[in-house]
């Protein structure tokens, strides 16, 4: 099982950062995966993928575990990591 870990810094505070990570939630929803929030942490699980997200005052950390199904479907871990990083940066840079 391949694991992808992304940490993006921000200076928005927890509440604003949480509201901005909806872009990540929207991306996951396209694959039938939903975030289940508990405070400032969320977990998710879908076919071939599972993981978590945590939001702090300074950063957001996303950890994704790609299972055999995701790799068999051709999911490129490096490309996925780059896409998530880019989307988070754009979300945090948006005014």
pLDDT in tens, the chain (95 residues): 589 999 999 999 999 999 898 877 887 888 788 889 999 999 999 888 899 999 999 999 999 998 877 777 777 888 889 988 998 888 888 75
CATH number of the structural domain spanning residue 70: 3.30.530.20
Decide: helix, strand or coil at residue 10.
coil
Q: Within 10 A of 8 (CB to CB), how many other CB atoms are there?
A: 18
Alpha-carbon distance of 72 to 53, in angstroms, equals: 24
Would you put residue 89 in left (φ > 0), alpha (ψ -120 to 50) or beta?
Answer: alpha
Question: What residues pair up with 4 in beta bridges, in sequence order?
Answer: 64
Say if pTM beats, i.e. exceeds, 0.75: yes
Instruction: Output the DSSP codes for 52-75.
Output: EEEE-SSEEEEEEEE-HHHHHTT-
Owning domain of residue 16: 2-93
Q: State the total domains in the chain.
A: 1
């Amino acid at each position: 099982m391949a694991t992808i870990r992304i940490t993006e810094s921000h200076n928005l505070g927890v509440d604003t950062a949480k509201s901005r990570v909806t872009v990540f939630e929207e991306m996951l929803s396209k694959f039938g995966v939903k975030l289940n929030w508990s405070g400032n942490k969320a977990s998710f699980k879908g076919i071939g993928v599972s993981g978590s997200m945590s939001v702090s005052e300074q950063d957001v950390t996303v950890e994704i575990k790609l299972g055999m199904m995701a790799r068999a479907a051709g999911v490129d871990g490096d490309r996925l990591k780059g896409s998530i990083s880019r989307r988070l940066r754009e979300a945090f840079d948006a005014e």
